[in-house]
Structure 1
């Protein structure tokens, strides 16, 4: 290599400023200088906006904690609130249906109790009628047995006529022969039949001539008044027992539906209080820091005024 080549001066590349070229945007030296003004306090404006956002979030969290709901009204979440209102309506309807079923359950319990007492009285009446069918008993014994028959027959009528619940008697009310009750929240119905026990049980027994040996024997036959009354009573006990089982099962089923609806409603609108409590503490700290930042920013105009003292 020649000495001339070695001695050539090295030319340094000039920067954009030295060549008069336009500086690329986004470089540090392109940032605008902050405006020092007593009329416009940008720092205070930014701090105030941040504090307002924090206060809004804090208000929302406090609302969720105080109500226990993540969605307390349509403003929180319109779609979720609409679904929640529909679920609440369904729950109210199911609850109302269960209340009605509870009344029917009471009615059937009273009716079953009356029929059980009628059945017990009929069995006692059968025992006495067997004795009255015996031609070997004395006249005095027959008179005593006849008095017992009369008392038991009157008891049967009392059991039937007293079997009322909330003014309704399905054993002695022609209007209650077909009872229709709402069974669920969708307006479904369950219908069961009443029974004219006075006609089918009491009248047959009271009209039977069990005071004589022949009359008592006739009442005990398969087609006799007493046997027919016993058969009718047992048949209705079976039917009313089935009605009661259905009502109890439907009440239990409706309760299961209510539990599921309540669980779904809670998942939809309930607030996570543990999470909200932690967020409340964080926002309270942020609120304090925001207030301090705003206070510092508000001191900037005073510092500018000190330059003119």
Structure 2
């Protein structure tokens, strides 16, 4: 049936054209934006995930900035500590030189004064962004933190992880609290070297701590050394004017006594006389160094006081070296975290892209096809609309 009121062919062609136009709008939006999912209406699940991960990436970008700031603070503190170590080494060398007979201690003290001023300058200058980790409150009340990461847990909760660096008597050079607790302004208690050994007596082992000596100290006592080898075991004995010492490890000797017939396991056999550890030779009590490094004044010091001061400086060097190692480890961790955050950011960007980015090759092909379909649909609609004109010929 042919009707002038209802053109079914035109209606069908118009519906097809509308569908093609809608598809073209969608495809053109993807081509122009480069996104397959640009709003929640495109794909609510993917859009929600992508929005959340983009937010996390912005937080990670802030973490990267914070890591850079933290790395600068750690590097500044490490540079200052490393420079201070070199200066304290020089001070130790000056003190050793002062032990020689006939040296002018006044001249050496003048050099030490210059080195002390340099330490003060280093500690004051080791500041970044208003923070100084070398010249601070060393009472243990201050902890410095460096942002390390932004974490989203499985339950959706978020948190910021930090690396803590507590400032205390073991890593602060100068104590600003006035308590003289810093490495350079505190007085060290100097104790004799000791070693803990397991001594076997009648089959029963007991841990004992005795005074330890170096081979240089024994040589200074004009000791004579003998070696005895039994099977695969070699032991050494030193005789310093009738006082005997046995070697217990690569670095330490301890005072020895004749343990023949006592039940104590011998450490050295010398011509049928068995020597073991003198368990009664406990380390002497600790004594305080004459002064801190910041207040060194060697004029008028006795040789014993000078030796104690050198030992105190050596202990300070040990603390400074340990603090520098901690700062170096912290700097390495921050550097590794920076690399990880950079890779994590790239991975998140890549993952979000897989969810929402448009495949431009596919979209361009689809757009070309839709343009062709649109032209055909327009032509089809034109043909359908012209069919009503045929009816006029029936009335001519």
Please tell me the TM-score bracket, short chain as reference: 0.7 to 0.9
Aligned to 1:64: 30
Match of 1:122 among 79, 88, 103: 88
Q: What does 1:14-29 correspond to in 2, within 5 Å?
A: none
Question: Secondary structure at the residue paired with 1:307?
Answer: helix
Aligned to 1:233: 320
Q: Return the alpha-carbon distance in structure 1 between the equivalents of residues 308 and 390 of structure 2.
A: 118
The answer to whether 1:79 aligns with 2:42 is no
Aligned to 2:11: 45
Change (3 A) 1:132 1:278: same
Question: Secondary structure at the residue paired with 1:185?
Answer: strand
Aligned to 1:205: 293
Change (3 A) 1:214 1:65: farther
Question: C-alpha root-mean-square deviation of aligned residues, in Å?
Answer: 2.2
By how many angstroms is 1:144 displaced?
Answer: 4.3
Question: Secondary structure at the residue paired with 1:37?
Answer: coil
- 1:238-284 deviation digits (Å, cap 9, x = unpaired): 11112112222222222332232222211111111111111111111
Aligned to 1:221: 310
Aligned to 1:12: none
Q: Return the alpha-carbon distance in structure 2 between the equivalents of residues 71 and 153 of structure 1.
A: 66
The farther-off stretch of 192-201 and 171-180 is: 171-180
Query: 1:210, 1:219 within 8 Å by CA — same for their partners in 2?
Result: no
Q: Return the alpha-carbon distance in structure 2 between the equivalents of residues 81 and 65 of structure 1.
A: 18
Q: What is the number of residues matched between the two proteins?
A: 270
The answer to whether 1:245 aligns with 2:299 is no
Q: Give 4+ residue runs of structure 1 displaced > 6 Å after superposition.
A: none
Q: What does 1:87-102 correspond to in 2, within 5 Å?
A: 87-102=53-68
Match of 2:347 among 251, 260, 264: 260
Query: 1:157, 1:202 within 8 Å by CA — same for their partners in 2?
Result: no
Aligned to 2:117: 154
Q: Return the alpha-carbon distance in structure 2 between the equivalents of residues 64 and 95 of structure 1.
A: 27
Query: 1:132, 1:213 within 8 Å by CA — same for their partners in 2?
Result: no
Aligned to 2:357: 270
Structure with the greater alpha carbon radius of gyration: 1
Aligned to 1:297: 384
Q: Return the alpha-carbon distance in structure 2 between the equivalents of residues 169 and 306 of structure 1.
A: 100
Q: Return the alpha-carbon distance in structure 1 between the equivalents of residues 299 and 319 of structure 2.
A: 23
Aligned to 2:20: 54
- 1:49-93 deviation digits (Å, cap 9, x = unpaired): 111111111111111111111101101111111111122222222
Q: Return the alpha-carbon distance in structure 2 between the equivalents of residues 83 and 123 of structure 1.
A: 58
* Structure showing the higher strand proportion among its residues: 2
Question: Secondary structure at the residue paired with 1:180?
Answer: strand
The farther-off stretch of 123-132 and 79-88 is: 123-132
By how many angstroms is 1:157 displaced?
Answer: 1.2
Question: Secondary structure at the residue paired with 2:149?
Answer: coil
Query: 1:170, 1:176 within 8 Å by CA — same for their partners in 2?
Result: no
Query: 1:132, 1:211 within 8 Å by CA — same for their partners in 2?
Result: no
By how many angstroms is 1:217 displaced?
Answer: 2.7
The answer to whether 1:166 aligns with 2:129 is yes
- TM-score, scaled to structure 1: 0.80
Unaligned runs of 5+ in 2: 152-158, 176-181, 186-291
- 1:181-209 deviation digits (Å, cap 9, x = unpaired): 33221222322223321142332212122
By how many angstroms is 1:211 displaced?
Answer: 4.0
Question: Secondary structure at the residue paired with 2:163?
Answer: strand
Unaligned runs of 5+ in 1: 1-34
